[in-house]
Homo-oligomer: A and B are copies of this chain.
Amino acid sequence: MNQPQQPDDMMPAIADVQSRRDDRDIAIDQVGIRGLRYPLMFVDADGVARSTVATCDVFVALPAEQKGTHMSRLVALLEDQLSASAEPLSVANFRRLLDDLVVRLGATSGRIAFAFPFFVRKTAPVSGVASLLDYEVRITGELDRGSYVHTLDVAAPVTSLCPCSKEISDYGAHSQRSVVRIVARPRAPLFIADLLRIGEEEASAELYGILKRADEKYVTERAYNNPRFVEDLVRNVAARLSGDARIAAFAVEAENFESIHNHSAFARIARGL
C-alpha cells in the first residue's frame, strides 16, 4: 500500500504519517479528493475532441489497517491522465483512469466521477442557423477487484407544456423550462449524445441557443401540439430506455420549473439502479 520507492515520497527525514498502521479495524469505503476542477479534452459520438472543464472526484477504498491515503497521488493522476499529450477522454476509454488509480494507490477498488458541461452544435429547426447548447454531464467509473462498471448521468434542458392547462383553457397553455436527467448503466457502447437526444425528443420541445423568428414560431407550435406532464416525460423516456439493448439499468428524472408556481414538479422512474 505504501510506496516508498516513489521518488517524490523519498524524503527520508519526513515522516509518512498516512502509511502508518491503524488499529481501529474500520475499512473506509471511499477516501480521496472532491471538487477539484481540471481542463478536460472529451470526445463523444461525433469523434471530435472538445475542451471543457471537469469537476473531479477521485476516491479509493482504504483497508482497515492503513491510517490514511496519499492524496497527492490522486491529483498527480489527473495531471498525467488529462494532460495535453494524453488521449482525449471518452466513455469508451474512461476505464484507463481507474486502472491507473488502483495501481498508483495500491488499492483494491476505486471510484472516479467527472462532471462537466458538454456542448452540442444544434441546427435551428426552420432557419437552419447553428448554435451550441450546453448540457450538464457526469461520468462515473468504479473498479472493484478488477470488476469495472460505469454510469452516465446527463441532464437535458427542454420545454414542457402542461396538458391540463392546454385542455382547460380557452387559449394558451403554460410552459416552462424543464430538465430531463437520465442516469444509465450501459452494457454496450453508448454515447452521451444518444442519451441527450432521448431526453430532448420526448419533451414538448427541445431548446436551442439561437432561434430566429420562424424557428420560434415552430417551437412554440410544436410545444403546444405536444403537451407533456412531468409524468409523461419520465414515462416516455423510461419506455425508450427499457427498450434499448445497450442499457442494463437506468433512472430517469424530470423536473419542471413551473411557470405558475415557485416550486418544481418532479417525477422519477428507476429500473435496476
Q: Is the CB of A29 within 8 A of B268?
A: yes
Q: Chain B residues with Cβ under 8 A from A37's Cβ?
A: 117, 119, 134, 262-263
- Which stretch, A68-76, A87-95, A137-145, touches the partner chain B? A68-76
Q: Is the CB of A263 within 8 A of B36?
A: yes
Q: Chain B residues with Cβ under 8 A from A216's Cβ?
A: 162, 164-165, 168-169, 174, 260
Interface residues of A in 18-77 (CB under 8 A from B): 18, 22, 24, 26-39, 50-53, 57, 59, 62, 67-69, 71-72, 75-76
Q: Which residue from B22, B75, B160, B212 sits with its C-beta under 8 Å from A210? A: B75
Q: Does A211 contact B (CB under 8 A)?
A: yes
Q: Does A223 contact B (CB under 8 A)?
A: yes
Q: Which residue from B57, B164, B238, B259 sits with its C-beta under 8 Å from A176? A: B259
Q: Does A106 contact B (CB under 8 A)?
A: no
User: How many subunits of this chain does the assembly comprise?
Assistant: 4
Q: Is the CB of A231 within 8 A of B67?
A: yes
Give the interface SS of chain A, mostly helix, strand, loop or mixed: mixed
Q: Is the CB of B67 within 8 A of A219?
A: no
Q: Is the CB of B221 within 8 A of A67?
A: no
Q: Chain B residues with Cβ under 8 A from A133's Cβ?
A: 262
Interface residues of A in 105-128 (CB under 8 A from B): 117, 119, 127
Q: Chain B residues with Cβ under 8 A from A236's Cβ?
A: 24
